[in-house]
Amino acid sequence: MSAMFRSSIVHRRKARTRDGLRQVTSLAASLAALSLLCWAATAGAQCGGISSTPNAAEDCALHAVPADRAAQIDPAHPYPLAELIDIAENNNPRTHIVWERAKQAAERLGIAKSAYYPVLSGIAAFADQRTISPFPKPLAPRGYTMVEVPVIQPELTLDYLLFDFGKREAKIDSAAAEKLAAGANFIRANQEVAFGVATAYYKLQTAQERLTATQETLKTAQTTQDAAEAQLNNGRSTLPDVLNARAETSQAVFDNESADGDQKIARVALTEAIGAEPSPNIIIDRQDKTSLPQALTMTIEALIDRAIQDRPDLAAQAAEIRAADQEARAAKAEYLPRIALSATGAQTSIWPTTDYGQLGNASEPTWTVGLGIEWRLFDGGARKNELAIAQSKGRVARDEMREKQDQATREVWTAYIGFRTAMRKQQAAEALLDSANASYSASFDAYKYGVKNLIDVVTAEKQLAQARLSGVSARSELFLQAVNLEFVTGNLLRKQPSATQTQDGQKP
């Protein structure tokens, strides 16, 4: 298995080296193929559960506002897993955070696009100016004239950037990539919340089944104790045997109380995961009749390929690479000139007065138009450093992509091995429980007839208790490993075929 793992890693690294930026572009394009479907398609489902693509999730987040409230839990209603995930998508604080970040990314794209439009401003000036001007005395008796000019001037100004060698386009592409990344992160956050709810759900189910198992063990211990006391009364047992049986009963009581506390703590953890006020007052639909996943429907190579293509975190990282590339493009455009149009138009009205002579009033339209070329020739290295930073971000983004791809591959391998191991453990647990039941029944019957001693019965009783707990743990672990396999391949909450199936061929 390890050799296959190393071979797969080497093969994929060679492919990345060969494909280079083409692979990044392909991953960014694959965002359009990401489809999401909430397990509970209710009218109040959050954007991440009803949107089919990161762009759709972004648009939903832009026009919707998450409800600022905590989930209300009905203590009398048994909640299935699908309904709990739907509640979490609407109420978990994590989804609210990424919702708002997605909204901010969409707004930043709108800001970037606004650079293509002219800036139109309105100004209204109201002024009164009084000046003194020297003037020859023969013409002005006091040797100066005093002029007062009231002015009213409403004005419109227009600034329009005509050409900037692609800087605005690069900024828009960068903002669009960041918007796409925010949408993918939004989907991933919903998947993480759903996985967290599923984990808490199965932990609670495990705790409840463990409580049931300890209760059965307590009944078994009490039965053994009753038999030992009956044998003592009949003179066919000893007091140490009875004391031993009583000790096993006390241990079973202790284990039962411990399991009861654990399942209450698991209830609190589940309410917290769905965004409700932490409380043990929640009931789950345990779905005891749900078929166990029994087989994989995909090879490990296909699972890794699905993860590389469909995981939202990888898609978001591909968008980050694109954003970094466009940021470098915008930095390069700073080295080139800008061509801009500026214009003003106004209606200027004045009523000048003077203490000597007579001045005329005026109310005329005035305007200016200019076409300017701005070219920064020297800026002390600011553009050079900005370009270096942008190029460095691109290299970092590519290294992070490689790291995340390797991490995704490791997680898929771990989940794959974990599911196969969980299947074998479940099969072994079933066989162990059957054997332990038969062993205890045989030992107990033999003890009642005096063929075996109490030590044999107690030993079989302990084995039965351990077998019950092992069966509980194996069942829940198998469900959880199946969910984990969908999560690490980016398929959680999606409509694509499941990686596992039950004996009847259905998705677990």
In this predicted model, what pLDDT tens digit does every residue of 395-438 receive, in sequence order? Answer: 999 999 999 999 999 999 999 999 999 999 989 999 999 998 89
Predicted confidence (pLDDT) at residue 42 exceeds the cutoff of 50:
no
Instruction: Say which residue, 24 or 367, is predicted with more confidence.
Output: 367
Residue in 178, 437, 494, 451 with CA at minimum distance from that of residue 311: 494
What's the burial of 447, exposed, middle or buried (CB within 10 Å: 0-12/13-18/19+)?
A: buried
What's the pLDDT band for 104 if we cut at 50, 70, 90?
Answer: confident
Question: What average pLDDT does this structure show over 326-343?
Answer: 92
Between CA 450 and CA 338 the distance in angstroms is: 103
Two tokens at 117? 């439009």
d(CA 441, CA 449): 13
- The answer to whether 345 and 367 are in contact (CB under 8 A) is yes
Q: What is the pLDDT of residue 60?
A: 66
Per-residue confidence (pLDDT) for residue 94, from 0 to 100:
82
Contact 180, 319 (CB under 8 A): yes
Token pair recorded at residue 408: 């995704």
Q: Are 215 and 134 in contact (CB under 8 A)?
A: no
- Measured over all CA atoms, what is the biggest interatomic distance in the chain, rounded to whole angstroms? 151
- SS3 letters across 353-412: EECCCCCCCEEEEEEEEEEEEECCCCCCCHHHHHHHHHHHHHHHHHHHHHHHHHHHHHHH
What are the pLDDT digits (tens) for 109-126? 889 999 999 999 999 999
| Rounded Cα–Cα distance for residues 21 and 17 (Å) | 9
Helix (H) or strand (E) holding 508: none
- Please report which confidence band the pLDDT of residue 96 belongs to, taking 50, 70 and 90 as the band edges: confident
Average pLDDT (241-249) is 86
Percent of the chain with pLDDT over 90: 32
pTM for this prediction? 0.73
For residues 263 and 54, the model is more confident at 263
Residue 218's H or E segment, with its range, is helix 167-233
Distance CA 57, CA 71 (A): 22
Provide mean pLDDT across the span 324-346. Answer: 92
Task: Find out whether 119 and 160 touch, Cβ atoms under 8 Å.
Answer: yes
